[in-house]
Amino acid sequence: MPKKDLENDESTLDRLTRLGKKLRNQLEDSEEDDLTIDTQVRSKTNVEYDEEEGRLSLGDSYSTRKFLNISHARKFMQTTLVANKTKELVENGRTASIREVYYQLKHSVPGLDENTFEDQDESNNVVVDIETATGAIREDLHLFAEPKGRLFGPITINDSGDSIDCMAMGTSGLAIPSIVDHYEFEEHSADFILVVETSAMVNRLVEEDFHKEHNVILIGTGGQPARGARRLINIMHNRLDLPVYVFTDGDPWGYYIYSVLKSGSMSLAFQSDRLATPDAKLIGMTMEDIDAYDLHHVTEDLKGKPEDSGGPTKDFKRIRDVMDYEWMQKDEWQNQFQKMLDKGVRVEQQALASQSLQFVANEYLPKKIEQDQFLD
Amino acid sequence: MPKKDLENDESTLDRLTRLGKKLRNQLEDSEEDDLTIDTQVRSKTNVEYDEEEGRLSLGDSYSTRKFLNISHARKFMQTTLVANKTKELVENGRTASIREVYYQLKHSVPGLDENTFEDQDESNNVVVDIETATGAIREDLHLFAEPKGRLFGPITINDSGDSIDCMAMGTSGLAIPSIVDHYEFEEHSADFILVVETSAMVNRLVEEDFHKEHNVILIGTGGQPARGARRLINIMHNRLDLPVYVFTDGDPWGYYIYSVLKSGSMSLAFQSDRLATPDAKLIGMTMEDIDAYDLHHVTEDLKGKPEDSGGPTKDFKRIRDVMDYEWMQKDEWQNQFQKMLDKGVRVEQQALASQSLQFVANEYLPKKIEQDQFLD
């Protein structure tokens, strides 16, 4: 069942071919005294927040791998091996895991007492090098990662020729794969996309028929979203022009999930335009919900030590980290974190069950949407 | 979308009611000088391997919680609260997460400066108490756990009124929920069930159309299988009378996954009859595969220290642990572990990619099945 996304595949082949040609030209040009690949520096120092676009991106620092430098020769060989293998995958309409690529390429180098790769970390790093050298991301290179997440709602998705009615998936849902670029959205009657942090809350909303009664595409990420889910939210938002609301726990971990969905992550900053959705808004939980819905007896105390008594550690440290990020400087976000610190508590999605199991679906979410109560 | 499994629900209500009546009778009977609930001891010392049934079970040790014992009074209150709440769930055809139950029941006790529950560990333990006191498992009590796993293949499953053709799920698959007892298998043309440890191998087999060409129900567990996947394999095997083959990495972690699917786990020994599938067989990876398919250059060295040089640690320790289990004493299993130790290596499913990406689907698995090469 080879995946076809011909336009994108051609662009990827073009990028890989350009990389190869550049190397060949360097080899043939006697003026050149070295053989190099330029890759963007991906460390924290080169990550920037683009306020206009509302997402993270990489800055202008490049590092150059030199073939004739003995310490880079091995990595250079690996880079060309992996680039060649991914070209083969794209040409043949196949996908592979990074682990399979590693095993396909692991062999001893003829004439040398050396293996092409010693362990998988080596090939993993090389894949990221190729991503930043060519501008093609992992999914473009037909390499898949661990899938995670489920989807329910009023949309029919064509996946590799199969037409899947996501409204008729019972309590199970569609498993979101790690590559979703080939998805075709055949028809839908959705009003918005609701991204939900915990599996338990997805179960609750499905059990209450929230996706049916409010025309919602429900995406459960099962904690920190995998690449496939992040890419899916991005392409659904862009292709279908649907608002994206994110529903997490009211704690620094949940708000960080929101920030990754909205602005991207530092480690994948070079892919934010594909993986992030700057228009996403947070629907809850907020610190104000504790008063508004009388949740005082079902908050959880922050774990760890605050700053003024030997900390910050654990939750306190995490709050401090996240509230220091450049893209979390808006007043409304700083307020949330400050209230969290002042009250010394966090509040989970499931705490809404203290009102009733149905409360989240029948009152909490509809009211927030109706009254346009979002954090942005 | 309330789930209905009326026969099972009635049996569960009956079990919960019996527990309640027993308590009421004790209260009303003036001869009784205490109020008690008996629960099976679930610690390792009371776990037995039933060779005849081929699975773990709990022994005859019971512990008694006394209401009039001050140290048990709190737990007793919690047990009756949770039992009552699960009865309400079953009666109303609803399900809930353990976390929701915790939040629903967390409140201050009138007249006392005390909460019903202080943290979620308390309610989690109580749920297991009720399971062993009534013989009804978590899923019977309408409590769900974290879902994990995907399914593809020639079977139509009715989930809560939705008829899902699992052969038409593209590269995505059906997400396996945490409760599957309500699944109805409408029709199928499967010859066997293949349970696969890694998501990457599931992707590979789907991409090669293995499920279509060999009439296979493919179940990906994504590592150690969740309760929902274990229960699904159990009911599919029993209701559809299909053989179950398990495909894991050739290492102690993979073989332990197999042993949990086949015989159950120590922590859930009281549920082995519902969660384990003693007829399951291991199709690979085996230590013999390394010679048979020339995988010497793609094995991985065992991590840690062997016994004779300061160990065992890491992989070496894990091998020793698993090979000591009572249910792993068959010669063929001891041989596998001994070979692992002798060669000092493990071999992953993805190592088969060194032959070709298609090799696992076109040669490795079909040959094993044709020649009946399984470990049992």
Report the alpha-carbon distance of residue B9 to residue B15 in Å, rounded: 10
Q: Would you state the structure tokens that stand for residue A247, as one six-digit string?
A: 């529903």
Q: Which residue has the tokens 């299993």?
A: B333
Which positions in chain B touch A158 (Cβ < 8 Å)? Answer: 170
Q: With an 8 Å Cβ cutoff, are A172 and B175 in contact?
A: yes
Report the alpha-carbon distance of residue A16 to residue A12 in Å, rounded: 6
Q: Check CB contact of A99 with chain B, cutoff 8 Å.
A: yes
- b/e code B50-89 from CB counts within 10 Å (16+ = b): beeebbbbbeeeeeebebeeeebeebbbbbbbbbebbbeb
Q: What is the pLDDT at residue B280?
A: 98
Nearest Cα of chain A lies from the Cα of B60 at a distance, in angstroms, of 35
**CA A240 remoteness from chain centre:** 19
**CA A197 remoteness from chain centre:** 13
Q: With an 8 Å Cβ cutoff, are A97 and B162 in contact?
A: no
Q: What is the pLDDT at residue A374?
A: 97
Nearest Cα of chain A lies from the Cα of B366 at a distance, in angstroms, of 19
Total Cβ atoms within 10 A of residue B173: 28
Smallest Cα–Cα separation from A298: which of B107, B113, B86? B107
Q: Is the pLDDT of residue B32 over 70?
A: no
pLDDT bin (cut points 50, 70, 90) of residue B72 is: confident
The CA-based angle A343-A345-A351, given to 5 degrees, is 125
Which positions in chain B touch A222 (Cβ < 8 Å)? Answer: 146
Residue A271 CA: distances (Å) to CA of A257, A260, B207: 16, 12, 26
Closest partner residue to A150 (CB to CB) among B175, B298, B353 is: B175
Report the alpha-carbon distance of residue B234 to residue B54 in Å, rounded: 14
Write out chain A's pLDDT in tens, 376 residues.
455 677 889 999 999 999 999 888 888 886 766 788 888 888 889 999 999 999 999 999 998 888 777 778 888 889 999 999 999 999 999 999 999 999 999 988 888 878 898 888 888 889 988 998 898 989 999 999 889 999 999 999 999 999 999 999 999 999 999 999 999 999 999 999 999 999 999 999 999 999 999 999 999 999 999 999 999 999 999 999 999 999 999 999 999 999 999 999 988 898 899 999 999 999 999 999 999 999 999 999 999 999 888 989 999 999 999 999 999 999 999 999 999 999 999 999 999 999 999 999 999 999 999 999 999 9
Closest partner residue to B350 (CB to CB) among A99, A350, A354 is: A99
Report the alpha-carbon distance of residue B13 to residue A215 in Å, rounded: 35
Report the alpha-carbon distance of residue A231 to residue A87 in Å, rounded: 22
Interface predicted TM-score of the whole assembly (ipTM), two decimals: 0.92
Q: What is the pLDDT at residue B4?
A: 60
Q: With an 8 Å Cβ cutoff, are A164 and B170 in contact?
A: yes
Q: With an 8 Å Cβ cutoff, are B174 and A172 in contact?
A: yes
Please compute, for residue A15, the number of CA atoms within 13 A of its CA located in the half-sphere on the CB side. Answer: 20
Q: Check CB contact of B94 with chain A, cutoff 8 Å.
A: yes
Q: Give contacts of A 21-60 with B, CB under 8 A.
A: none
Report the alpha-carbon distance of residue A262 to residue A276 in Å, rounded: 5
A293 is a catalytic site residue: no
Task: With beta carbons less than 8 A apart as the criterion, state whether A131 and A137 touch.
Answer: yes
Q: What is the pLDDT at residue A362?
A: 97
Coil, strand or helix: which one is A200? Answer: helix
Report the alpha-carbon distance of residue B171 to residue B330 in Å, rounded: 38
Instruction: Give the burial class of B152: count Cβ atoms within 10 A of its Cβ; 0-12 exposed, 13-18 middle, 19 or more buried.
Output: buried
Q: With an 8 Å Cβ cutoff, are A200 and B2 in contact?
A: no
Q: What is the pLDDT at residue A101?
A: 93
Catalytic residue among A49, A102, A103, A293: A103
| Mean of per-residue pLDDT scores for chain B | 92
Q: What is the pLDDT at residue A3?
A: 55
Q: Would you state the structure tokens that stand for residue B216, as one six-digit string?
A: 């296979």
Contacts of A20 by beta carbon, 8 Å cutoff, 6+ apart? A80, A83, A84, A87
Coil, strand or helix: which one is A44? Answer: helix
pTM for the model: 0.93
pLDDT tens readout for residues B230-288: 999 999 999 999 999 999 999 999 999 999 999 999 888 988 999 999 999 999 999 99
Q: What is the pLDDT at residue B108?
A: 84
Q: With an 8 Å Cβ cutoff, are B169 and A179 in contact?
A: no
Instruction: For each of the domains in chain B, give its residue range(s) and CATH number, in order of start.
Output: 6-144 (1.10.10.10), 150-370 (3.40.1360.10)
